[in-house]
Structure 1
Amino acid sequence: MSLSPRVIAFLLAGLISALTAVFLTFVEGVTRSMLFVVAISSLIVSFFLILYAIEILVYREVNKLYKTIHKLRIKDFTISRTTIIKNNNPFKKLNDEIFVYVARKQKEIEELRRLEQFRREFLADVSHELKTPIFAAQGFVHTLIDGAIDDEKVRDKFLAKAAKSLDGLDALVKDLVALSQLETGEVKMHFETVDIYQITLDVFEQLENTAHARQASLKIKSEQPGGILVKADPQRITQVLTNLIENAIKYGNNGGKVVVSFEEEKKQYIVQVRDNGPGIPPEHLNRIFERFYRVDKSRSKERGGTGLGLAIVKHILNAHKSKITVMSKPDKGTVFSFKLDKAD
């Protein structure tokens, strides 16, 4: 049988009142009316004191514990450490400590689950990406071994295709190694004063043949002519611009336009790489920086790439204490932007 706080308070108050009355019967000169008044007074005062103690100090805090458990079950982690320090009530401290401890453990469990899921997806993606060039090269080589090597035209054609597959495999492995080193912090950034305007010109020159094949024009737009000095790792920031500009060329329209612009702020420069291509659908924008994620898998395969370029860009800019953002509208193009600190 479960007893409510009021029933418990009444029983304890009745016991205290009875003991008080019995004790007073041994005192000389105490009349029955006095005993009655003392018993009733003792009952009433004890009842309310005990009810307050049970209701406020015990039951209410226990109910809070149940609410805390309910919150944890629905993953509502809203409590600050300062509330625990300010509380003097031991029940409240216990309640808050349990909440914080379980919330922390729950977050750790969720993070471990997320990492485990990420690991599985990554292994599946790597296996798939490695399998394609390996099987292609393997097929060409075995065809040559089976007799096609005697035909000079077929031999040269198949060897060229096998070499292309192996080059793709080499690029994939290099990107995987680079991404792994960036994530683990093995690659240290060597910051120095660099002219990002000149780096952009060098990248344009490097990608000239790619742009010519797509009939794309490459332009720089800057508020200030000449050198733009920033604090960055020259090798890594070149890699960032190369990836972004090459993607803009490859996935833009034939005869499209790629514009790199520099906008000056008080302590930083905003760097933007803009194209007027088909754009990226909104549902893909939050995922394009994931490993191996491709908006259009068939187009991406046709135009090369390992699917790791934007993930590498993201990690390099994170190491520069910067963040890359993307804005895109279908049929109106895409803009990638990031900030770099001005050189001292």
Structure 2
Amino acid sequence: MKLRVLIFLTSAAVAITVSSVNFYFQHKWYDLAITFVVSFAISFIVFYYLIEKYVYSKIKLIYKLIHNLKLGRDLRDALGETTSSADPINDVEKEVKEWARAKKTEVDDLRKQEKFRREFLSNISHEFKTPLFAIQGYIEAIQDDEFEDIDMARQFLEKASKNVDRLSYLISDLDAISKLESGEVPIQYTKFKINDLIKEVLDSLEMKAQQHQIKLVFKQKYDENVMVTADRGKINQVLVNLIDNSLKYGNKGGQTAVSLFNLHDQVLIEITDDGIGIEEKYLPRLFERFFRTEQSRSRQIGGSGLGLAIVKHIIEAHEQTINVRSTAGMGSTFGFTLQKAKQNPLPLPFPVMPALKS
């Protein structure tokens, strides 16, 4: 309801009340009309003046301040502006509700970020402490022994070296994921054959697969090469991380298979293993940094705990999707999409001659 309508109705109510009281005592009809007109005029002027000065002007200022705050403008600008709104009371109500919803969303996001920060600091502290304490223990043991047992010293130094490598991998992965999140590492799009890249990655991991007694298989359903547009180096890292992950959690005597599926304007690459699998409750958090489904076994296997997070960042930087489906005890399948390269139109074998007019 607009301000003038509200004042009009209030003044009319007051005028009717005063006129009725006057008529009750005087019983004169002409006094009733005069009293109504006079009391209505006085009430309207008084209410309009009071509400305009002490209520309406304050509400307009509040509206300007909230509006400028939402726009990110200097609040001092609101003091010299005039509002073009015909009903600032409703506008203030609307602005306050929108502002409250936005602030609630902001508070919820801040709480999530704070929770994530605490978990991240706790995880990274644990990831660093484990190899550092191991290195410290091996070095102190060697110092206490004063190199009397050379074989033991050599074994401890080798174990310390492995933990140094683990720290190095962790720092490298942290640096990589930080650059991916900040956009410092741009995506260098090129056209290449995804079939050839898969074969290269499988060849490079063949020896590691033999150590795990796992067979690598490329289920190439199509004879022709599939051209994609992507960053070849980063997709190479995605394939290495996913296949290496399948080897770590695979079963001896099992296999890891890579498959290609032609979609409309995309290609789907799937990496499937028949390993230990993942429980359904863990799937939504699988791509989080440092998230591990089985802490004890994951620590023994090693790794920084950032591999899948890096994979997700790379695929999302390509504006593509990655998903996982898994059944505990039966294996897992990771799939991601890439954009197909646009085919250049084939040149005509001979120039087209214009038709001759008859």
Q: Where does structure 2 lack aligned partners over 5 or more consecutive residues?
A: 1-7, 37-84, 343-358
Going from structure 1 to structure 2, the CA distance change for 1:157 and 1:90 (only over 3 Å counts) comes to: same
Structure 1 residue 116 displacement after superposition: 2.0
Q: Deviations over 1:24-44 (max 9, x none)?
A: 9xxxxxx9467779999xxxx
Structure 1 residue 91 displacement after superposition: 3.4
1:66 corresponding residue in structure 2? none
1:138 corresponding residue in structure 2? 136
**What is the number of residues matched between the two proteins?**
289
2:273 counterpart of 1:283: no
1:100 corresponding residue in structure 2? 98
**Alignment check: 8 A CA contact 1:277 1:331 kept:** yes
Q: In 1, distance between residues paired with 2:275 and 2:129?
A: 31
Going from structure 1 to structure 2, the CA distance change for 1:260 and 1:13 (only over 3 Å counts) comes to: same
Q: Deviations over 1:252-273 (max 9, x none)?
A: 2211121111111121101111
Residue type of the partner of 1:123?
L
Going from structure 1 to structure 2, the CA distance change for 1:34 and 1:271 (only over 3 Å counts) comes to: same
Q: TM-score, normalised by structure 2?
A: 0.73
Q: Return the match for 1:228 from 222, 226, 229.
A: 226
SS of equivalent to 1:122: helix
Going from structure 1 to structure 2, the CA distance change for 1:164 and 1:10 (only over 3 Å counts) comes to: closer
Q: Deviations over 1:19-74 (max 9, x none)?
A: 557999xxxxxx9467779999xxxxxxxxxxxxxxxxxxxxxxxxxxxxxxxxxx
Q: In 1, distance between residues paired with 2:165 and 2:135?
A: 10
2:338 counterpart of 1:340: yes
1:239 corresponding residue in structure 2? 237
Going from structure 1 to structure 2, the CA distance change for 1:212 and 1:99 (only over 3 Å counts) comes to: same
2:190 corresponding residue in structure 1? 192
Q: In 2, distance between residues paired with 1:15 and 1:103?
A: 39
Going from structure 1 to structure 2, the CA distance change for 1:166 and 1:88 (only over 3 Å counts) comes to: same
1:44 corresponding residue in structure 2? none
Residue type of the partner of 2:235?
I
**Alignment check: 8 A CA contact 2:229 2:338 kept:** yes
Q: In 2, distance between residues paired with 1:18 and 1:333?
A: 83
SS of equivalent to 1:285: helix
Residue type of the partner of 1:334?
S
Q: Deviations over 1:112-136 (max 9, x none)?
A: 2222221221111111100111111
Going from structure 1 to structure 2, the CA distance change for 1:281 and 1:22 (only over 3 Å counts) comes to: closer
Structure 1 residue 158 displacement after superposition: 0.9
SS of equivalent to 1:186: coil
1:218 corresponding residue in structure 2? 216
Structure 1 residue 107 displacement after superposition: 1.6
Q: Return the match for 1:118 from 100, 116, 119.
A: 116
Q: In 2, distance between residues paired with 1:11 and 1:161?
A: 88
SS of equivalent to 1:188: coil
Q: In 1, distance between residues paired with 2:141 and 2:17?
A: 105
Structure 1 residue 247 displacement after superposition: 0.9
Q: In 1, distance between residues paired with 2:199 and 2:17?
A: 98
2:205 corresponding residue in structure 1? 207
Going from structure 1 to structure 2, the CA distance change for 1:36 and 1:271 (only over 3 Å counts) comes to: same
2:125 counterpart of 1:127: yes
Q: In 2, distance between residues paired with 1:36 and 1:108?
A: 59
1:17 corresponding residue in structure 2? 16
Q: Deviations over 1:117-167 (max 9, x none)?
A: 212211111111001111111111121122252222112111111111111
Residue type of the partner of 2:276?
P
Aligned 1:234-273 pairs, distance under 5 A: 234-273=232-271
Q: In 1, distance between residues paired with 2:156 and 2:203?
A: 31
Q: Where does structure 1 lack aligned partners over 5 or more consecutive residues?
A: 1-8, 25-30, 41-86
Q: In 2, distance between residues paired with 1:288 and 1:178?
A: 19
**Aligned-pair Cα RMSD in Å:** 3.0
**Alignment check: 8 A CA contact 2:266 2:338 kept:** yes
